[in-house]
Structure 1
Amino acid sequence: MIIAGLLAMGAAACGDAGDEASGGGPCDVKVSTDTKVKPEITIPDCEKPTVLGTKDIVEGSGAAAKAGDAVGVNYTGISWSTKKQFDSSWAAGRQPYVVKPLGQASVIEGWNKGLVGAKKGGRRLLVIPAAQGYGAQGRQPNIGPNETLVFVVDVVSINGQ
C-alpha cells in the first residue's frame, strides 16, 4: 500500500458545476464529485506543478481536521507523468486508511500537511511535488524518481466520528 502526504495547491474556485470540478484553467486536474464512488481523475498534458497544492472538490461538514487527529480516508493516487494509478483504497475488501496522528503520521509529508483543514464527507485533491512525496528515490516499482503525485482523498471520519 502506498500512502502519500499532501499540501496546498491553491484556492482557485471550481470551474465546472456538473459532476466534475477543476480550478478552471487549462492546467487543472479534473476530479469527479460523487463521493460514493471511486473518483475519476484527469491530469492535463502540461508542466507538472512544483508546489504542494490542496483543493476541496467537495466541501465536507463539521469540524476541520487538525494536527493530532486520526483521519480516516479513502484515496486514489496517480503519477503526474504517467497518468497511471499506483494505489487506491477503493479496491475490493480494503478498509479506509487512518492517518494518525495527523501532522506526524507515517505517511509522506504532503499528506500530513494536505489533510489539515479537511472535513468529514469532503473530497480533497492533493498535488504533491516530489520533495513532499518520495523524492529523488521514488518508490519502485510504481512511482518513479522525482515524481509529482496526485491524490484524491475522501474523508470518511475524523477521530472515529
Structure 2
Amino acid sequence: MNKFLITLLIPFCGYAVTAQVKRKAVVKKTVTTAVAVKPKTLLDSASYAFGTSMASSLKNDGVKNLNYDLLVKGLKDAFAGQTPLLTQEASQKAIGNLFKSLSQQKFGPAIAEGKAFLESNKTKPGVQTTASGIQYLVLTQGTGIKPKATDTVLVNYKGTLLNGKQFDSSYDRNEPLSLSLDRVIPGWTEGMQLMPVGSKYRFFIPYQLAYGERGAGQDIPPYSTLIFEIELLKVNGK
C-alpha cells in the first residue's frame, strides 16, 4: 500500500472510532429509585398505622392479598361521601363470601372427611337418612310420645367427633339436660322429633346441621360432622 493511501486511511479510521465513541455516549440508562415515604405528621403516622393494623387483622383471618386500587378507592369514596360501587348489602355479602371461601380452603380436609364418612355410613345396616342429610341408628325404640319443635325435653346424651374424641356428655355429669328444641342445633331439632319417649338413637349430623363453618369453642372445630347418642327421657311440652 503506497504512502498516499495510508495517509488517507489514518484520519478516516480515527473518525470512525470517534463516531462510535460518540454514538455510545448518547445511550443513557434511566435508573428509577423508589422514594421512601415516611410519616411526617400525626395524621401521616395514624394513616399508616390504620393500614398496617387493617392488614395484620386481615392476614390473621386468612386474607393474603387485596385489589389495592379498589381498596383505596373504597376509602376515598367513603370519606368523600361518594355513592359507593356496592350497596351495603352487596358489600357485606362480598366480604362474607370471601371469608367463607378462605375458610373452606383451610378446612377442606375436614369437609372431605365428613362427606366420605357419611357416604360410607349410610350403607351400614340399620342406618337411615332423612331428606336433610341427617343419619340415625335406632339403639332403643321407645313407645312414648314424640316431641314437637317447640317442646322442652329432658335428655341424656354424649357427643363425639369422627375421631372418637368426646366433647360433651350428660352421663359424665350424672345430670340429664332440659332443653328447648327450638334453641339447639338444627340436627337436634329435626332428629329428636323422630324419637318417641324412652328411645335412644345415635345421630350422625353433617356440619351444615351442626355448628357449621364456625364450630363451637375449642372442642368442636369448624366444619365438623358430629355423632350424638341421645336418650329421650321426657317431653315437658312448651
TM-score where L is the length of structure 1: 0.62
How far 1:70 moved relative to its partner?
1.6
Query: Which amino acid letter does the alignment assign opposite residue 63 of structure 1?
Result: I
Q: Which runs of 5+ in 1 are unaligned?
A: 1-8, 10-22, 29-49
* 1:90-129 → structure 2 map (5 Å cutoff): 90-92=171-173, 94-100=174-180, 102=181, 104=182, 106-129=183-206
SS in 1 for 2:187: helix
Check conservation: 1:60, 1:121, Cα contact below 8 A: yes
Ranked by relative contact order (alpha carbons within 8 Å, sequence separation 6 or more), the top structure is: 1
- Number of the residue aligned with 2:230: 153
Count of paired positions: 112
Provide the rounded CA distance (Å) in 1 between the counterparts of 2:184 and 2:165.
Answer: 20
Q: Could you give the per-residue CA deviations for residues 18-43 of structure 1, whole angstroms, max 9, x where no partner exists?
A: xxxxx428xx7xxxxxxxxxxxxxxx
Provide the rounded CA distance (Å) in 2 between the counterparts of 1:119 and 1:63.
Answer: 5
Check if 1:24 corresponds to 2:125. Answer: yes
How far 1:140 moved relative to its partner?
2.6
SS in 2 for 1:110: helix
Provide the rounded CA distance (Å) in 2 between the counterparts of 1:68 and 1:107.
Answer: 11
How far 1:121 moved relative to its partner?
1.4
**Which residue, out of 70, 76, 88, partners 2:169?**
88
Q: Which runs of 5+ in 2 are unaligned?
A: 1-117, 119-123
Select the structure of larger CA radius of gyration. 2
- Number of the residue aligned with 2:71: none
Check conservation: 1:66, 1:117, Cα contact below 8 A: no
* 1:135-154 → structure 2 map (5 Å cutoff): 135-154=212-231
Provide the rounded CA distance (Å) in 2 between the counterparts of 1:140 and 1:63.
Answer: 34
How far 1:68 moved relative to its partner?
2.2
How far 1:113 moved relative to its partner?
0.8
Structure with the bigger percentage of helix: 2
Runs of 4+ displaced beyond 3 Å? none
TM-score where L is the length of structure 2: 0.43
Query: Which amino acid letter does the alignment assign opposite residue 231 of structure 2?
Result: D
Provide the rounded CA distance (Å) in 2 between the counterparts of 1:63 and 1:71.
Answer: 11
Query: Which amino acid letter does the alignment assign opposite residue 164 of structure 2?
Result: K
Provide the rounded CA distance (Å) in 2 between the counterparts of 1:140 and 1:88.
Answer: 16
- Number of the residue aligned with 2:40: none
Q: Could you give the per-residue CA deviations for residues 76-97 of structure 1, whole angstroms, max 9, x where no partner exists?
A: 00011x22110000123x4211
